[in-house]
Amino acid sequence: MLEHFHPAVTRWFGAKVPAPRAPQLIAWPAIAGRECALIGAPTGPGKTLAAFLTAIDRLVLAVVGGELPGGTQIAHVSPLKALWNKIRRRAQIG
C-alpha cells in the first residue's frame, strides 16, 4: 500500500492519517512512476495528499541522497484558504 515511499514518509503518513483512501491507492503507483494522473473524487477523500505525499517522498529521497538542490522544489496553488490551512496543519511534524 505505501511500498512506493521512503520508510520515514510512510511513518509520517501513518501518524497523520489512519489509512490511505481509495483515490490515493489508485493514484500513487501512477504518480510514483512519473505518469500523469487526474484524480476525480468528492471533497475530502485525500486528492491533495495523494499528490503531496509523492512530492514529500521525492524531497526526502533527495535529502537522504545528498542531492537536494537549493531553491523552491514544490509549489502548490490552493483554490481555498481553508484547504491550504488544513494541508499546512497536517504537514507539520510533531
Domain ranges of the chain: 7-91
| 25-to-1, 41, 62, 87 alpha-carbon distances in Å | 7, 13, 23, 19
pLDDT tens by residue, 22-75: 888 888 888 888 898 888 888 777 888 888 888 889 889 999 998 888 888 877
Count of positions (residues) in the chain: 94
The dihedral through the CA atoms of 21, 22, 28, 31 has a sign that is negative
C-alpha cell belonging to residue 58? 521525492
Global pTM reads: 0.72
